[in-house]
Structure 1
Amino acid sequence: MDKHQHPWADCVFVDGRFQPPLDGGRSDIRDKSTDEVFATAGDASAADVDAAAASAVTAQRDWAARGHGERAAVLRRVAAALESATGLVELIMRETGCVAGKAEYEISAAVDELTEAAALASRPVGEVLRTSHPGRSSVCERVPVGLVAVITPWNFPLVLGMRVIAPALALGNAVLLKPSPETPGSGGLAIAELFARAGAPAGILQVLPGGERVGRRLVEHPDVAMVHFTGSTTVGREIARTAGSLLKRTSLELGGNNALLVLDDADVDQAAMIGAWSSFHYQGQTCISAGRHIVDRRVAEAYLRNLTDRAAAITVGDPLRQRTGLGPIINDAQLARARRLLDEAVAGGARVLTGGTNDGRFFRPTVVVDVDPASALWTEEIFAPIAPVAVVDGAEQAVALANDTRYGLVCSVLGADVHRAAAVAERLTCAMVHVNDATPQDEALAPFGGIGDSGLGGRAGGDANLDEFTERRWRTVTGTPVHYPY
C-alpha cells in the first residue's frame, strides 16, 4: 500500500477538507509486524484544535437544525461508503497487527453502528409533562450536547470511533476526533474520508491525529461540551480530574480485569474453547478480554490440559504474509509491560504451562497457574495473550474471587445448569455479564460500559445513546403572560 494513495497523507481533517496541520507536523504510520513505514498522517497541534473547534461550533448549530431525515441519510450514505471501501481491511491489519477476520469484523460492526444510529435520529426527543398551571404546556425535551471531543484507542480503532461518532452526530452534535497515535488512519483519517465521500456537511466531523498535547487541548477547550474517552484507567483519571475542574461532562470507557468462571458442571472442552478465545483473541488486547480464569477444582485438571493444548496449537506471525491465528503485540512498550507482568508472577511462584516466550513482538499464547492473587498479573489489566488460572472450591469462592477487584466491566459464567449459572452471574459486580459465552461481546443495540475503575459516565449503544449524547431541557409555554405580585 503506497502512502501516496491516501488523500489524507500528512493531513488533518478540518472544516471538511484534508489539509496540512498548521505547524506542518507529520507522523509515520508503521506496519506492526514489520515496523515498515507504509503511510503518514498529519500531527495536529493545539492551534489545529482551536481552528477545528471554531469551525465545528457553526457547523453544529446548522447540523442540529436540520431534520432528522437529513441526518439519518448522511449516516446511511457513510455506511454504504464503508461497505464498498477498498483497502480498509489491509489498513486495519497493518496498523493494529490483527488478522483479517478481526479487521472484517470491525468494518461490519462499524456499519451496524451507523445504521442503528441512523434509526436513532428519528426517536422521540421529549415527553409531555403534567402541570398544575392552567393554560401551560410543559415538556421535557432532549437537545444536543454540542461539541463532543472523542479520544479513541488503537485496539479497535474503526468500530470504537464509529460507536461514538455515529450516535453523537445522529442526535445533532458535532465531533472532534483524536485517534490513537498508533492508528491515525483506520481510527480517524479513513473515517473522515468516508464522511467526505458521503457528502457530509463540512465541520460536523473534525479529525485531529496527534499525541498528548492534542488530547489535553481538546479536554480543556472552552467550546467542547463533552469528552468521550476510551482507553486506560490511568489516562481516564487524568481526564476526569481536568474535566471535573472545568465542570465538563465526561464519558469514560476504561480498562477491565475480567473474570471467566468455570463451574463444576461445565463442559470442559467447550469451556476451554471459550476461555482460549476470551484471553487470546487479538493478542488479548481488548478491554473485555478475560484476564482471570477462575475454575472449580473438580474440573480444573481437565480444563487446564484442554486450555493448554488449545494455546499451544495457535499459530503466531505476520497476518498479511502467512496464515496465522495471532499477530504482534502493538508496540515495544506494551510488549515490555506484558513481559514484566509475567516475569514478576513467575518470580513469585507462578508456573507457565505453555507459552511465556516471544520472538520480538510476537508473543506466544500463555497459560499460567499458581499466580499470587496479590500479583499485578492477577490484579491488573494485562493486554497480552496471557491466561492466568486460579482453582477454587465451589461457586462461593468463585464469586468472592471474581468480585475481588477494583474493575467492573464484564464477566462470564460457564456451566451446564443454566439456571444455576445465571444465579451465579447475578452475584457478580460488573456492568456486563454473559452465561455460557466468551467475555468479548459487543452489539450496537446493547448498553456497553463499566463500573468502578472500568468506567465513569453513561453507556454506549441503543437507547443508552440518547442519555449519552443529549441534555434534558424543561420547556413550558403559556398562552398569555402570567401576572405576579411584583
Structure 2
Amino acid sequence: MPDTSTLLPNALWNERLFNGAWVNAPLPPENVIEPASGATLGRIGLADADTVARSAKVARDAQVHWFAQPYDERARVLRKAAQLAEQHFDEIVQWLVRESGSTRPKAAFETSLTIKAFYESAGLPSRSQGEVLPTSAGRLSLARRRPLGVIGVISPFNFPLYLAARAVAPALAVGNSVILKPDPRTAVCGGLILARLFELAGLPAGALHVLPGAAEAGAALVAEPNVAMIQFTGSTGAGRKVGEAAGRHLKKVSLELGGKNSLIVLDDADLDTALANATWGVYLHQGQICMSTGRLLVQRGIYDAFVERLTAKARSLTVGDPAKGEVHLGPLINARQRDHAYQVVQAARQAGARLETGGEYDGLFFQATVLSGVQPDNPAFHEEIFGPVAVVVPFDTDEDAIRLANDTEYGLSAAIISRDVGRALKLGERLRTGLLHINDQTVNDEVINPFGGVGASGNGTSIGGPANWEEFTQWQWLTLKGDAPLYPL
C-alpha cells in the first residue's frame, strides 16, 4: 500500500503529469515559484498538444466505463475525495499559502469550500435525471439528462483549488470524464492536489487528467474533437478567445470571466458596517478575485467620513509573507500583475483621482491603496485592477448610483449597504448583474448557488448548485412503444 501520510509527496508529482497515472511530461519542466519569497517549490510537468490529444482519447473511452458505474459508486468516490481533503486539510492549506500567495484564513476558507463542493456533488448522482412527458396512449415519452462526454476545464490562479474543483467535481458526478488544465502558476494547489485526491478516492484511471500547460495546451483542448465542452474561468480577454474557438468547433462552452463590481453605500448605512464590508470586498486575497469590489460608490452625505475611515483602515493592514506569520495581505501572483496594478494607480492619479494611501510596492507586496474622487472618465473606474486598490466614487441620488453601477461592460456581482432593505432592493432590481447582495459585500459563493455573470463577465451560463445538472449534461428525448407502428407511406 502507498504511504498516504503525505497527500502529495514531491517525488510523485515532480516533473510529471496525471492521466490516471503519474507520467513524465513531454516538455521541459517549469519551476513552481513561491511568490512571497521567490523560492522554488518543485518543478511541474507541462503538456503539449499531442499530450492533450492522447488524453482526450483515453478520457473518452474511460467516460463510458465511468458513467456505467452504479450511481451510488460515483457518489462514493466524491464523498471519499471530500474525506481525504478533510484528512489532509493542513497540507492543502499550506500549498495554497505558499504557491498562490494566499493568507492562511483565505486558504482555509478555500479548502473548506472545495470540500463542500465535493459533498454537494456527491448528491448529484442520486437526483432525478429527467421528466416523463405527456404523449399519446401506448407510448412512453421521457426527457432525460445525459453526460456530455469529456469536459475540458481551464482554471485560474486566484482561487486555484476551488475554481477547478467546482467544475471537476460536478462534471465527474454526473458521469463525464474531465481534462483539467490548471494555470501553470498554481498547478499544484489548483490541479495536482485534485488528481491525487481522486486517485486515492478510487476514481477509475483515465476519468480525470491534469495537464498543466501554456496557451498551446489550452488551444488544443478547445479544438480537440473528443472534448465535448469547455468550462473556462479567467480573464475576459482570454475568455473571448476561448469562446470564439469553442464556437468555431461547435463546442458547448461555459465562461466565468472578470468583473468591475460595485458596492453601493447608501447614506443611511452604518459606517462601521460599511467599512467592514468594503475592506473585505476590496482587499481579500489582495483584490485578486473576479468578485472583488472594484468600485465603492458612496453617497455624498457620508462620503468624506467614509474615505477617512477607509484610509485609516488601509494603513493598518499588514502586508507580508503569509507562510511566515499572520498578515492581512500576501503577495500578488507575479510581476506582471503587480505592474498592471501600479500602472492603473498612476494613470488614475494623472486623470484626477487622489491617492489617499498606498500605491507603492516592495517586490510582489503591494500596499493597501485608496483612490478617492474617481470619476467615470478615470481609467480606475472602468479597468479591472486585480490588486488591493479601493476605488471610491461619490454619488448624490439613488438614480446616480444605478447609473454609475451600470456604467461598465461587466456584470458579475453587486452589493448594497443600507438600513432600509426596501430601498436597497428597489435600487438593486435595476442593476445589470448576475449576483446581487443586499447588506453584504460583493465576494460571495456558497457552492449551492448558481454562479454566473452577464455582459463581459460571462456568456449567460451558470455553474454551481441547481445549475450543475444543466451545465454538465444535455437533454435526450427518449420514446418507447411496445410495437413499432406501420406507417402508411
Q: TM-score, normalised by structure 1?
A: 0.97
Which one of 99, 109, 130 corresponds to residue 126 of structure 1?
Answer: 130
Task: Give the Cα separation in 2 of the matches to 1:177 and 1:196.
Answer: 14
Counterpart AA for 1:349: G
Which one of 2, 6, 10 corresponds to residue 5 of structure 1?
Answer: 10
Is the 2:120–2:448 contact (alpha carbons within 8 Å) kept by the matching residues of 1? yes
Which one of 333, 337, 340 corresponds to residue 340 of structure 2?
Answer: 337
**1:172 counterpart residue number:** 175
Counting aligned pairs with the same residue, the percent is 43
Alpha carbons of structure 1 residues 44 and 378: separation in structure 2 relative to 1, 3 Å: same
Is the 2:411–2:455 contact (alpha carbons within 8 Å) kept by the matching residues of 1? yes
Structure 2 counterparts to residues 138-149 of structure 1, below 5 A = 138-149=141-152
Task: Give the Cα separation in 2 of the matches to 1:387 and 1:251.
Answer: 30
Asked if residue 364 in structure 1 is aligned to residue 387 in structure 2, the reply is no
1:356 positional shift:
1.1
Counterpart AA for 1:361: L
Task: Give the Cα separation in 1 of the matches to 2:51 and 2:311.
Answer: 50
Which one of 384, 394, 397 corresponds to residue 397 of structure 2?
Answer: 394
**2:443 counterpart residue number:** 440
Which one of 472, 484, 488 corresponds to residue 485 of structure 1?
Answer: 488
Q: TM-score, normalised by structure 2?
A: 0.97
Asked if residue 249 in structure 1 is aligned to residue 241 in structure 2, the reply is no
Task: Give the Cα separation in 2 of the matches to 1:323 and 1:252.
Answer: 35
Asked if residue 354 in structure 1 is aligned to residue 357 in structure 2, the reply is yes
1:372 positional shift:
3.5
Is there any run of 5+ residues in structure 2 with no aligned partner, and where? 1-5
Is the 2:146–2:473 contact (alpha carbons within 8 Å) kept by the matching residues of 1? yes
**1:311 counterpart residue number:** 314
Structure 2 counterparts to residues 230-309 of structure 1, below 5 A = 230-309=233-312
Counterpart AA for 1:186: C
1:40 positional shift:
1.3
Greater Cα offset, 297-306 or 144-153: 297-306
Is the 1:150–1:178 contact (alpha carbons within 8 Å) kept by the matching residues of 2? yes
Is the 2:294–2:385 contact (alpha carbons within 8 Å) kept by the matching residues of 1? yes
Task: Give the Cα separation in 2 of the matches to 1:396 and 1:104.
Answer: 40
**CA RMSD in angstroms, aligned pairs only:** 1.2
Which one of 468, 471, 476 corresponds to residue 473 of structure 1?
Answer: 476
Which one of 97, 101, 104 corresponds to residue 97 of structure 1?
Answer: 101
Is the 1:283–1:327 contact (alpha carbons within 8 Å) kept by the matching residues of 2? yes
Structure 2 counterparts to residues 12-161 of structure 1, below 5 A = 12-14=17-19, 16-21=20-25, 23-85=26-88, 86-131=90-135, 133-161=136-164
1:457 positional shift:
4.3
**2:3 counterpart residue number:** none
Is there any run of 5+ residues in structure 1 with no aligned partner, and where? none
Task: Give the Cα separation in 2 of the matches to 1:156 and 1:290.
Answer: 16
1:375 positional shift:
2.7
Deviations 1:137-193 (A, max 9, x none): 101010001100000000011111110011101100000000001101011111101
Deviations 1:358-387 (A, max 9, x none): 111111111101223123211121100001
Residue 185 of structure 2 aligns to a residue whose secondary structure is: coil
Alpha carbons of structure 1 residues 32 and 344: separation in structure 2 relative to 1, 3 Å: same
Task: Give the Cα separation in 1 of the matches to 2:315 and 2:46.
Answer: 41
**2:324 counterpart residue number:** 321
Deviations 1:434-453 (A, max 9, x none): 01111100011101110000
Deviations 1:303-332 (A, max 9, x none): 111111111100001111132110011100
